[in-house]
Chains A and B, each alone.
Chain A
C-alpha cells in the first residue's frame, strides 16, 4: 500500500456547478473567436478537478501546467495522472491550462515554470494526488448511483465495477455527477510496485503531429488580419536606440510600420515576415552608448579570479589549505567554459493582440506566468485583462524562461490596437540577443600523500554569476548558490539536489565572481556542465598522478553514495573499461538536478590530432523512471547538446557585439559526429530526480578524459574546434 496523504484544498480546486465552470474554463482556453487560432474547440467536458476533465466519450483530458519543449514532460505527467486515476491510456489526451486561468483560480496548478529538470520531480506529488482525488470522486459517484459502498468498487482502465451487484460504468458516464461531489480530504497514492502506466516506455502523445508537419509552433501561427514583425535590438551590449530612418524603407514591399520598441530596439511590421525582415535589414539605424566589451580582454579578469583572496565559499569540508601544506604532491590545472548560446531550432517569437480592454499573447514559453506578467507590464493593462496561450516549444533549453520577446511583441501590438502581430526573430537576432551560458574558468587543485591517497580538493571558480545577472535578489552574502551545482553542501536543503557526492577528507568549492556586461541565463544543465568538467577531469588527473586506475580511484571516494558508484560501475562494465583491446576510454560520474549520471566514452584521435567519438555508454539513476524510452531520448540528446558545446560552442564579443551570428559561425554537432549512445537506466527508487539536464554534465568530461587516454595530452581549453589534440 502507498502512504496516505492529507490534501491541501489548493491541490484540487473542485468545480462548483461543474458544467458551468467547465464551460467558462474552456472558453478562456480558446482563442478569440474572430481569429483562425483554435487552441481548443472541445465540447464541454466535466471537470472532475483541476487536473482532469472527462468527456462523455470517456476521453480523459489531463491538464498540464508545465511546458512541452521536447523533453516529453507532457507525456510523462499524463502518465502520472493516468496511473492514479486508473485511466485507459489509449483515451488520454492533454491540454494546457492558461496562466490567466491559474491566476483566476488561486494558482491551483502551482507555478508554470518549466526548468531545472523539475517537470516531473517538481510536480509528481500534487499531480498524482489530484488524479487520485479525481478517481475517488468518480468511484463515489458510481457507488452512490448504485447504492453500494464505494470501498467495494474497483477501477480498471477507465471502467468502474462493483462485483457484488455486477454493476459497471465508465468514467465518462459518471463524470458529471463526480464533479459535483465534495473532494476527499485524504488520498492514498499507489505503491510503485502497483504501477502499470508509470514506468512504461509508452510512445509520446505528440509524435504523430510532429512527423506530419501538423504540429503548430509559435512561429507558425497565422490569424485573420495578422501582420508580421522583425526586430533588431542594439547589437552592442547595453546600447540604446538613437535614431532610424523609416523613410528609407517605407516604400519597400509590404511595409506597414517602422517603430521603436522600448529603449533599445526597432521593428518593422509588414504583411509578411519576409518583407518585414528585408526592410529591417535595409533600415538605417543609429545606436548609442553601451559596453564595448571584448571577451578576449575578459580573460585577464577570469585569470585574476583564479587566485584572488576575495572569494565566497560554497561548501567546505575539513581544512583544504592544511591538506595542501602537508601534501606530498599537488596537482593543479585550469579549465574553462566559454559563453554559449541556447540556439533552439525555433527562434524566439510571440504573437500579441492588444485592445484597450484586453491583451492576449500566444507564445512558446517555459514560464507562462512570467509571460503573463510581462504582457501585463508591457500593455499597461491589469493582469486580469491579459492572457497567455502557450504553444509547444521548438526547443527551449532555458532560453524560453525569459520573457524579453513577449515584452517586445506586446509593445509592438500596443501600437496597432486590434491587429494581431507576430514577432519572429531572425536567427541572427536570436544569436545576438541571448541570455548566454555564463563564462567561467576554474583552478582545480588536489593533493596526494606519499602513498597516493587523496587528501584535499579545491575547486576555485572564477567568473560570471547567473543569479547576479538576472535575479540579483537571490544573491545572499555575496553568494550565488547556483554557481556550486554538483559541488554544493548536501546538508543544506536548498542545495541538496545539487550537492557533492564524492567523499573527500578536505574540500572547498569557492567562487570569485567576475561579471562581464553580458546577460547570463540558465542554459540546459546550467553550472553543472562545467563543474563536472572541473571536478571530474581533476579526478582523472589525480588518479594518474597517484598511479591508480581512474575507475578504482573515483570509486574509492564514493563510499557514501552507492547510487553514484552504481552508475559509474555500470558504464565501466558495459563500456569495456579495463579491457586490453587497445581502445581509449574516459569516465565521468556526477550528481546534479537530483539524479546520478555517468558516462564512458571511447574515442580515437588521428595523426592530425582530430577527434572521433566512437562510442558512448551512459547510465542514469533518476530514482523513478516514468517513461524509460523518453529518458533514453533525453540522455542521447544531452550528449549532443553537451558535446556541441565542448566541440564548438563559443560566443565571443568584439566591441560589445556577438561575432557568431548564425550556425555557419556557431557550429553545432551533426549526425556524422555523433555515435550511438547506449543508455542504462537504473532507477533505484525512493527519490525523484531530474532527467532533461543532468546527463549533459558527464558528456564533455568523459570525452576529455578519453582524449587524454588516446593522446597523453590533457585538453583543458574549450571549445576544441578542430585543433590538434596531440599538441600540448
Chain B
C-alpha cells in the first residue's frame, strides 16, 4: 500500500514492495500510455518523470517513491496533449506503430527540462530509447522543433 502523487493527484494504491512503478501505473491505475517493452531498463518504452526527471519505470519500485515526489506520465504531460514535444511530434508525424513513442516523448521532455538547448550530441547521449520502427530521424528533428516551440 502506498500513496503516490501521479499527474498532480494523490492516489492511494496497493502494491507489493517490489512491484515496479510501471505495473502500478498500467494495471492498478489504468494509465496504459506508459508501455512495457523489455522490463530491464533497456528500451525506454516505460519512461515517466519523477520531479521532471526521466526514469525507466519498469525497474523502479513504486515503494521507493514518496508522496512528495511528483510522478508524471504521458497522460499528464500536458492537459490537452499539446506539450511542445507532443506538438512537434504531431507536426512531423513522428510515430509509426507508436508503441515506443510515449516513452520517447517522455525521455525527450525530460531532457529538455534539464537542457532546453539540447543539441545533437546531447540527443545522442541521452535519448537511448529503442524504436524498432526506426523513427530516429524524425525524433531528432522533433527535438529541435520542440525547442523552438519552448523558446
Q: Which residues of A contact B (CB under 8 A)?
A: 69-72, 203-204, 206-217, 219-220, 222, 228, 253, 272-274, 343-347, 392-397, 424, 426-427, 629-630, 633-634, 636-641, 662-664, 668-672, 674, 676-677
B119 contacts A by Cβ under 8 Å? no
Complex: A212 Cα to B73 Cα, angstroms: 10
Residues in B with CB closer than 8 Å to A222 are 30, 32
State whether A395 and B99 are in contact (beta carbons under 8 Å apart), knowing that A213-B33, A214-B33 are contacts in the complex.
yes
With contact pairs A214-B33, A274-B23 given, residues A427 and B38 touching in the complex (Cβ less than 8 Å): yes
User: Is the beta-carbon distance between B90 and A346 smaller than 8 angstroms?
Assistant: no
Q: Which residue on B lies nearest to A212, using beta carbons? A: B81
Most central of A219, A274, A344 by chain B CB within 10 Å: A274
B interface, size bucket: 35 or more
Closest CB of chain B to A458's CB: distance in Å? 33
With A343-B132, A663-B42 as contacts: A629 and B93 at CB distance below 8 Å = yes
Choice from B86, B132, B137 contacting A395 with Cβ under 8 Å: B132
Q: Is the interface of B mostly helix, strand, loop or mixed?
A: loop
Cβ contact within 8 Å between A633 and B135: yes
A228 / chain B contacts, CB cutoff of 8 Å: 27
- A663-B35 CB under 8 A given contacts A69-B97, A210-B98, A636-B134: no
Report yes or no: A272 in contact with B130, Cβ–Cβ below 8 A. no
CB distance from B63 to the nearest CB of A (A): 13
B interface with A by C-beta (< 8 Å): 16, 19-20, 23, 26-28, 30-40, 42-43, 45, 73-75, 81, 86, 89-90, 93-102, 105, 123-125, 127-140
Residue contact A637 to B140, C-beta cutoff 8 Å = no
Alpha-carbon gap, A396 to B95, bound state (A): 15
Instruction: Tell which of B37, B98, B134 touches A641, judged by Cβ atoms closer than 8 Å.
Output: B134
Is B98 touching A71 in the complex (CB atoms < 8 A)?
Answer: no
Q: Which 6 residue pairs spanning A and B have beta carbons closest together? A: A213-B33, A640-B134, A394-B99, A70-B97, A210-B98, A637-B134
Measured in the bound complex, the distance between the Cα atoms of B137 and A187 in whole Å is 42
Query: Are the C-beta atoms of A70 and B96 separated by less than 8 Å?
Result: yes
Closest A residue by C-beta to B15: A274
Contact of A273 among B23, B31, B33, B95 (CB under 8 A): B23
23 contacts between A and B (CB under 8 A): A69-B97, A70-B97, A207-B90, A210-B101, A211-B81, A213-B34, A219-B35, A222-B32, A253-B16, A274-B20, A344-B132, A347-B36, A394-B97, A424-B36, A630-B93, A633-B93, A636-B136, A637-B96, A637-B133, A668-B132, A671-B129, A671-B140, A672-B125
The residue in chain B whose Cβ has the minimal distance to the Cβ of A201 is: B93
What are the residues of chain A within 8 A of B43 when measuring CB–CB? 345, 663
Q: Choose from B27, B89, B136 the contact partner of A671 (Cβ within 8 Å).
A: B136
Residues of A within 8 A of B132 (CB): 343-345, 395, 397, 640-641, 668
**Nearest-neighbor residue (CB-CB) of A271 within chain B:** B27
Q: Beyond A211-B98, A395-B99: 12 further Cβ-contacts under 8 Å?
A: A213-B33, A273-B23, A345-B97, A346-B99, A394-B98, A633-B96, A668-B132, A670-B128, A670-B136, A671-B124, A672-B125, A674-B136
Known: A207-B90, A222-B32, A668-B130. A395 touches B97 (CB 8 A): yes
Chain B residue with minimal CB distance to A661?
Answer: B40
Q: Which residues of A contact B89 (CB under 8 A)?
A: 207, 211
Report the separation of the CA atoms of residues A639 and B90 in the bound assembly, to the nearest whole angstrom.
Answer: 22
Q: Tell me if A427 and B134 are in contact (CB < 8 A).
A: no
Contact B134 A639 (CB under 8 A): yes
A228–B36 CA distance with the chains assembled, in angstroms: 14
Contact B100 A345 (CB under 8 A): yes
User: A392 and B42: CB pair below 8 A?
Assistant: no
Given A206-B98, A208-B81, A212-B74, A273 contacting B131 (CB threshold 8 A): no
CA–CA, A693 to B99, complex, Å?
A: 20
Interchain CB contact under 8 A, B86 and A671 = no
